[in-house]
Amino acid sequence: MTTPVTPSAANPLKLGTRRSPLAVAQAEETRRRLCAAHGWDASFVELVTVVASGDQVLDRPLAEIGGKALWTKELDAWLADGSIDFAVHSMKDVETERPETLVIAAVLPREDVRDVLVGAESVAAIPAGARVGTSAPRRAAQMLHARPDVTVVGFRGNVATRLGKLEAGEADVTLLAAAGLNRLGETSVGSPLDPETWLPAPAQGAIGVECLAARTNIVALLSAIDHKPSHAAIDAERGLLRGLGGTCHSPIALLTTAEGDTLTLRAALFSPDGAERVEASTTFPASDTQAPAALAHALLSSAPEAIRRHFTGS
């Protein structure tokens, strides 16, 4: 039988998070929702922060220095040794393949999935030959596909850092996630892009809460804040990524829409230079875990070699 967890101000549950302002805002939202669901005081959940490896090296693209694991490895170690009870992540920063000892026990209601363009009112309005600041392969390839005249320059760091680089003239425009801006209260920054024409990143806007699978009492507590429609969409998107065998170098954009328990997954793959693009979509019951893998196969089957070489799926 699962032993109930009874936290208190003197013996709080420990929630691990990266130390960046956005990560802390996400952890605070998680704590608010969990405490509200169980009738706890906020002091019953303590935030424990870490400077993730991905936040320490900002002069190179993430794909060159270890990929998405640089956002999770410190928190994974703390979960393993019991330093924290659960951890909060931006789901788009979580590797597709995770240790079997861990489980995403909850996904919070998904925020705005759109990208926001900062420095121009639209992609078409970006000045000819402009420098676009981004280190995301999806954003770079999608921009070069739409505007092959622009130049992409590397741009990493948190929201404030990237806005500061833009202000300093290191680029003419940049792209940020609407969800992150909203969570930081920066709702007046930039121009949101229509997700039907500018496809978002897989799992963009979603917060996941992870814990040890063996800690069934913690899993049970977190189930109270699991938003099942958001969780189903994220599972489908991650299933597609798994089928594609994508890496941090693989430009993929997608949009998931839901109607009741039916999901429609629309995805596009690009060559890194934006010259090649292939798109496909599928509609399926949210419970169908094979449909995303089938879509991955269809995409790769129709993709040219310039795209396929950046994916390991079949």
DSSP character at residue 64 = G
Q: Which tokens belong to 110? A: 């998904």
Per the DSSP assignment, residues forming a β-bridge with 199 are none
State the catalytic residue, choosing from 55, 93, 115, 226.
93
CB-based contact 31:42 (threshold 8 Å): yes
Q: How far is CA 193 from the centre of its chain?
A: 17
Q: What is the dihedral of CA 168, 171, 177, 180, to 10 degrees?
A: -10
Q: Which tokens belong to 145? A: 């596909």
Q: Tell me whether residue 93 is one of the annotated catalytic residues.
A: yes
- How far from 247 is each of 116, 138, 251, CA to CA, in Å? 23, 11, 9
Q: How far is CA 142 from the centre of its chain?
A: 17
Residues with catalytic roles: 93
